[in-house]
Amino acid sequence: MKQKNGLGRIVSFLADVWEILLKDLRLEIRRKYEIHSVLIFALLSNLLFAFAIGPSNPNVREFAPAVLWMSILFISMLCFATVFVREVDKGTLDGLRLAPISAQAVLTGKTLYTFVLMSLGAVLIVPSSMIILNYTFNSDGLLVVFVLALGILDLSIVGSTVSSLTMYSESRGLMIPSLSLPLIPGTLIPSILATGKLAAGATLDAVLPEIQLNLGYLLLVSAALGITFEYVLYD
């Protein structure tokens, strides 16, 4: 029985989140072909964008942040498709519904799982796009990682939410792009802008507006979901 208050509740919330994340990652590792296809797709999309721009385009450096984030967006669509829909397909969603944990813990666990999966893709995409498009980040490495991670986290929370909404839709995965893309510009545009500035060697001050927007996005969306997500999870 879990009837705790304050700190105890936070601890058990985090423990639930951790369990769900661990379970999903374990499933993902056992099903290697999915990670493989995500990673291959990441490299391919990167390459395709390079083809679209052309090898000797003088503005290639300016396109780089856009190419990077478009590739991340591409793989995100693949990742979103599995988050909740797989639980429905395998009939295990009721297991999550029956667990005496909060709906927010389920969403947080799923968001972090998406985040890990996408970060894995980003680890591949970022260096490969740096080589293909011939650019480097001339800023503090830690800042670059932070900006990328924040952007990916924003995408993950939107993606796992949309994935949870589409599990009720009869067209399932088909709905994911058309529902998530209109929600995404609010975080994608700042991410692209900040990445572009960082490639040109910007400091924290220069990318502060973008970081603030992305943090605001995260807070606003999580606040709304904190209240509404239980309506999505429980039928």
Partner 1 sequence: MRLSNVSKKYESRFGLRNVSFTVDEHEIFGLAGPNGAGKSTLIKILATLTKPTGGKVTIAGYDVLRQPRLVKGLIGVSLHNSLLYDELTGMENLTYYLRLHGCRDREEAKDLVFHKSSLFGIEDRLEDPVGNLSSGMRKRLDIIRAAIHNPRLLLLDEPLSELDSEGLEYFRRFLRSAREYSTVIFSTHSLEVVEEISSRVCILKMGELAELRYPEK
Partner 2 sequence: MRSRCPPAIVLAVNILSLYMIYIWAPPEKLLGDSYRVLFIHTPSAWVCYLAFAITFISSILYLRTGNLRWDLYAASSSVLGILFSTITLITGSIWAKLAWGLYWNWDPRETATLILLLAYLGYVSFRMSISTRDRRARVSAVLGILLFISVPLSYFSAVLWVTLHPMPLLPSVGFRLGVEPPILLALVVSMLGITLLFVWMFYLTLRIYGLVDGVEGYVERR
Using CB under 8 A, list all residues that contact partner 2.
161, 165-166, 168-171, 175, 178-179, 181-183, 185-190, 193, 209-210, 213, 216-217, 220-221, 224-225, 228-229, 231-232, 235
Asked whether the CA dihedral 115, 183, 95, 32 is positive or negative, the reply is negative
Q: Which stretch binds partner 1 (CB under 8 A): 26-34, 76-84, 160-168, 193-201?
A: 26-34
**C-beta of 65: minimal distance to partner 2 in Å?**
12
Q: Would you give the DSSP letter of residue 181?
A: G
Q: Among all chains, which residue has been given the structure tokens 């009721």? A: 94
Closer to partner 2 by Cβ: residue 30 or 235: 235
Q: Per CB under 8 A, does 234 bind partner 1?
A: yes
- Interface region with partner 1, contact rule CB under 8 A, candidates 94-102, 118-126, 189-197, 209-217: 94-102
Q: Which of 138, 139, 143, 131 is CA-nearest to residue 67?
A: 131
Choose among partner 2, partner 1, none what residue 231 binds, the Cβ cut-off being 5 to 8 Å by kind: partner 2
Residue 206 near which of partner 2, partner 1, none (CB within 5-8 Å, type-dependent): none
9 binds partner 1 (CB under 8 A): no
- Torsional class of 54: left (φ above 0), alpha (ψ -120 to 50), beta (otherwise): left
> Cα dist. 200→58, 196, 207 in Å?
16, 7, 11
91 binds partner 1 (CB under 8 A): yes
Which residues, 163 to 192, sit near partner 1 by CB under 8 A?
A: none
Q: How far apart, in whole angstroms, are the C-alpha atoms of residue 9 and residue 151?
A: 29
Q: Which helix (H) or strand (E) holds 180?
A: helix 175-180
Instruction: Figure out which of the listed residues 102, 161, 214, 222 binds partner 1, where binding follows CB under 8 A.
Output: 102
Question: How many CA atoms lie less than 13 Å away from 115 in the CB half-sphere?
Answer: 17
Query: Which residues, 6 or more positions from 189, have their beta carbon under 8 angstroms from its beta carbon?
Result: none
Residues in contact with partner 1 by the rule CB under 8 A:
1-2, 12, 15-16, 19, 23, 26-27, 30-31, 90-92, 94-95, 97-102, 234-235
